[in-house]
Amino acid sequence: MEKQRPSVTDPHRRHTAEDTTADSGPPPLSRSTVRRAQTPRATRTGDHHSHPGALPPAPGWLLHALTKVLESLWFPVSLLVVLAVTTEQVVTKGPLLGLDTWIRDHVLTLVSENPYPSLDQLAQHWSDMGDTRAAAPVLILATVAAAVRARSWKPVLISVLAGTALFSTVIPGKIIIGRPGPEGAPVLPGQWGWFPSGHTSTSGICYGTAAWLIGICFLSAQPRLRRTLYGATAAFCTGVGLCLIWRDYHWFLDVLAGWSLTGLTLWCLTRWGPRPTRDRRTEQVGR
């Protein structure tokens, strides 16, 4: 009687592929790479299109690198160099002032060819946000909210230090240097000059300090929202300086000096200033 052939689903049946694989030398190649299966990730080569086994960059590497740069000592040193060079060029009427003239000519050409009048109105309102009457109330509100949240006077001290740094650098610089504005009107005795830009420095220091206080007192447990707030504030303050150039209120070097003063002030505050924290009793009540 003929033997019955084992069914396909028979667990004791050995497939032909198993027999050949067991005796056929090295293991099969991985489908995702041209390397052998179970290859350690450490032995893969660098990121290159010709290497299929390349590892993708670690998530957040750009943000991590930017944070390292902002926290390093080279950041304020670079800002000091920029501030010193721009001040020296303005005082001595150096060749770098040609950059101001070149940028102003091109910006005026863009403004004259701009077909959207609403863009000029937006730039006007945006540049007005650098005025003390707009920036100071924001800083005061953020200071009060942070002081109540932290149950500490440290936010008030931080705001006082920021305001002192602002008025003790910008106003003396304007008076001593006395640079004329883009329209060329001379600075009369008793008047303030245009260098450095007061609106740029005021917006950067006031809004930047306010954002820092809100971040460390209200968003300390939410780093993503905190970074978003800092980034949006930096973009907003940068826009104030650009709108000042667009509206022909300041030279480019005036705005650049204001940005440098802002970065130096905020770096010193965040590095050496008092750091308020959220009150634990308030946090427990909120839970």
Using an 8 Å Cβ cutoff, are 158 and 273 in contact?
yes
Query: Residues 50-62: pLDDT tens digits?
Result: 445 445 555 566 6
pLDDT attached to residue 48: 47
Dist. CA 202–CA 131, nearest whole Å: 7
For residue 59, is it left (φ>0), alpha (ψ between -120 and 50) or beta? beta
SS (H, E, C) 206-218: HHHHHHHHHHHHH
Using an 8 Å Cβ cutoff, are 250 and 121 in contact?
no
Using an 8 Å Cβ cutoff, are 99 and 252 in contact?
yes
Confidence grade of residue 282 (pLDDT, cut at 50, 70, 90): very low
Residue 108's contacts (CB-CB under 8 Å, 6 or more residues apart) are 248
pLDDT attached to residue 64: 63
Dist. CA 169–CA 261, nearest whole Å: 8
SS3 274: coil
Q: Give the least confident one: 12-16, 138-142, 145-149, 269-273.
A: 12-16
Tell me which of 2 and 167 has the higher pLDDT. Answer: 167
Query: Residues 165-223: pLDDT tens digits?
Result: 999 999 999 999 999 999 888 888 778 899 999 999 999 999 999 999 999 999 988 99
Dist. CA 210–CA 171, nearest whole Å: 21
Confidence grade of residue 17 (pLDDT, cut at 50, 70, 90): very low
Average pLDDT over residues 232-249: 96
pLDDT attached to residue 21: 47
